[in-house]
Amino acid sequence: MKELLLIPGPTPVDESVLKAMSQDVISHTSVEFANLVKETLVYIKQLFGAANGFPFVITGSGTLGMEMALTNILGEKDNLLVLSHGYFGDRFVDIAKQLGIDVDTIKGATGEHVDLDVLKNTLKSKHYTAVTLTHVDTSTGVLADVESVSKILQEISPDTLFIVDGVCATGAVKEEFDNWKLDVIFTGSQKALATPPGLTILAFSSRAIEKRKAISPRTYYGDILRWMPVMEDATKYFATPSVNLFFALHKSLQNIFDFGLENYFKKHEEMAKSVRNAFKEMGLPLVAKRPAPTLSVFLYPEGIDDKAFRGKLKEKGVVVANTLAELYGKGFRIGHMGSVTKDELIVALYKIVETFEELGYKCDKGKVFEAFLS
């Protein structure tokens, strides 16, 4: 039985992408490979809304993107403000501390957006070199209001560099790097881009690149200045790119753009709405007050044991994820992004309802499916 992978990344990968990935390896400095890189980067710029951004695709997971964002723009004397909606926002604090960067945090209460008045007051009382915001925090499912944060930064502290983690958002939600005046954005290959894990994809603004030139970066492999010549012309060498992951990413982006990026956003909105309507009907509370289109985080009703639920569900061929940090054991996370379809979600819903019933939680099946389809 083929498992239905509904964790919030890695997500299922289409046959066409797996096939592209299994092609023969070619030289990483060949003209053929350089052309493929060029085409991929054109897609990336569109994905981020970054006509003016400089795009990168680097071998490494999303955490490398987080680290590159900080190491390339924060020097010895710089400081950072982290806006956190959960576990992945907090990871920026960890990385900053590891690198010896002076860091402050504003945290939203679980499931709630960071208070924008608190942000305004914080920016008025202290100057920050950079601010980070996680577009979708995969631990709580909160969708950040990047545009409003951008407006506040423009108004109060326009020289502060703005870093956005798009790992659980890019491709599924509109991102406007240029219009929102972002300085760094990055994502991972394994979420809405429906590509196997292993690539981080970034864009830097020209002022972020200027900032990199002005500091001595605490990274070698992740130094954007070493990668820029390769991204401009991949017949040049710095470190060997993952040729076959590039094949996969290129194919998946081609599929997404053939489908239409706006249609892809709409598909995510619709899947999220159906899932939430169904679980609302089942009586399961959603953690996020401002929920993302890529995943939903639900709390269990009284009496449902996390391990028993996810274990039984896996036996039926559906894999969902546990909740993280302070929510651990209290609920589950279901991804509805990438190549996942509404038909697959209906199958999963059927099995979830069945599992809940086996564990003693009853609901009106007819109404749940009606809610899903409404």
Interface residues with ligand PMP (CB under 6 A) are: 9, 61-63, 66, 88, 134, 137-138, 165, 167-168, 188
Find the shortest distance in angstroms from Cβ 322 to ligand PMP. 13
Question: Which residue of the chain is nearest ligand PMP when measured via CB?
Answer: 62
d(C-alpha 330, C-alpha 102), whole Å: 33
- Asked whether 255 and 16 are in contact (CB, 8 A), the reply is yes
Closest by Cα among 7, 80, 68, 93 to 295: 7
The nearer residue to ligand PMP, 8 or 157, going by C-beta atoms, is: 8
| Tokens encoding 269 | 């909105």
The nearer residue to ligand PMP, 67 or 281, going by C-beta atoms, is: 67
Length of the chain: 374
Q: What's at 297, amino acid-wise?
A: V
Find the shortest distance in angstroms from Cβ 62 to ligand PMP. 3
Q: How many CA atoms lie within 13 A of 111 on its CB side?
A: 13
Residue 137 backbone class (left: φ over 0; alpha: ψ -120 to 50; beta: rest): beta
Find the shortest distance in angstroms from Cβ 244 to ligand PMP. 18
Find the shortest distance in angstroms from Cβ 53 to ligand PMP. 19
Find the shortest distance in angstroms from Cβ 59 to ligand PMP. 12
345-370 b/e with 16+ CB inside 10 Å = b?
beebbbbbbebbeeeebebeeeebbe
The nearer residue to ligand PMP, 252 or 355, going by C-beta atoms, is: 252
Find the shortest distance in angstroms from Cβ 302 to ligand PMP. 29
The nearer residue to ligand PMP, 53 or 89, going by C-beta atoms, is: 89
Find the shortest distance in angstroms from Cβ 301 to ligand PMP. 26
The nearer residue to ligand PMP, 312 or 338, going by C-beta atoms, is: 338
Find the shortest distance in angstroms from Cβ 353 to ligand PMP. 27
Residue 194 backbone class (left: φ over 0; alpha: ψ -120 to 50; beta: rest): left
Q: What 3-state class would DSSP assign to 348?
A: helix
Find the shortest distance in angstroms from Cβ 233 to ligand PMP. 27
276-302 b/e with 16+ CB inside 10 Å = b?
bbbbebbebebbbebbbbbbbbbebbe
Q: How many CA atoms lie within 13 A of 179 on its CB side?
A: 9
The nearer residue to ligand PMP, 167 or 209, going by C-beta atoms, is: 167
The nearer residue to ligand PMP, 47 or 304, going by C-beta atoms, is: 47
The nearer residue to ligand PMP, 196 or 281, going by C-beta atoms, is: 196
d(C-alpha 267, C-alpha 163), whole Å: 27
In the chain, how many H helices and how many E strands? 13, 14
The nearer residue to ligand PMP, 71 or 355, going by C-beta atoms, is: 71
